[in-house]
Amino acid sequence: MNQAVPPTVTKLIDAFSRLPGVGPKTASRLTYFLLRAPDELSASLAAALTDLKTKTIYCSLCMNITEQDPCPICSDSKRDHSIIAVVEEPLDVVAIERIGTFKGLYHVLHGAISPVDGIGPDDLRIRELVQRLKDSDVLEIIIATNPNMQGEATAMFIKQQIAKLGVKTTRLARGLPSGGDLEYVDSVTLLRALEGRDEM
């Protein structure tokens, strides 16, 4: 350990470094910023982290992060309870809600099937989804997993698991982004755009 850096500083740098997207340099900058910042900032950050771990739970219906069970979305009678968008992460719910047009419910898987990372179907909230469909009158599932290999594998697995339940299964449309140039589009995206073309 570097003798010029006190152990408490090193400990916080190491803690920040374990966060996704935060490298050693950013971790150091954050730590030294907090050293110079007013005590109130550090205290409010510590309190927010404590609240995050003590006050948040998973909704028993959709598995999203919430402070009440069921969550505000699941308990909203104005939403369409016959349609569920299945997403990988809580941030995906935030992204869809930001658009403001989807009025159905959600189911958060908390990841995607990825054998390389040691994540299998049992590590996700797929079992809860299947049980939820058996216990309710859901008419349509929108599989809104990411359009990558892990998301596709997860989507196919979910489709197999719910095939016998008689629930309509749809997938988010994929293809060319608006304003994009064909020459820069990868072949998989271009193929999907061709396959999913609409009549003009």
The structure tokens listed for 109 are: 């898987």
Is 77 inside any structural domain?
A: yes
Which CATH number fits the domain that encloses residue 22?
A: 1.10.8.420
Helical packing angle, 149-162 and 126-135, nearest 10°: 30
CB 81 within 8 A of CB 62: no
Helices (H), the chain: 7-17, 24-36, 39-55, 90-99, 126-135, 149-162, 187-195
Instruction: Identify whether residues 48 and 74 lie together within a single domain.
Output: no
Is 20 inside any structural domain?
A: yes
Strand partners, 140: 83, 168
Q: How many domains does the chain have?
A: 2
Q: pLDDT band for 175, please (50, 70, 90 cuts).
A: confident
Using CA atoms, how far residue 164 sits from 135, 167, 168, in Å, is 14, 8, 11
Is 191 inside any structural domain?
A: no
Is 155 inside any structural domain?
A: yes
Beta strands in 51-109 (DSSP E): 57-58, 65-66, 83-87, 105-108
pLDDT in tens, 91-138: 999 999 998 999 999 999 999 999 999 999 999 999 999 999 999 999
CA–CA dist 139, 39 (Å, integer): 53
3-class DSSP assignment, residue 190: helix
Report the share of the chain in percent with pLDDT over 70: 96
Instruction: Identify whether residues 66 and 26 lie together within a single domain.
Output: no
Determine the longest span between alpha carbons in the chain, in angstroms. 69
- Domain span at residue 31 reads 7-55
Q: What is the mean pLDDT of the chain?
A: 91
3-class DSSP assignment, residue 114: strand
The structure tokens listed for 197 are: 């073309």
pLDDT in tens, 43-100: 999 999 999 999 999 999 999 999 999 999 999 999 999 999 999 999 999 999 998 9
Write the DSSP symbol of residue 65.
Answer: E
Is 198 inside any structural domain?
A: no
pLDDT surpasses 90 at 148: no
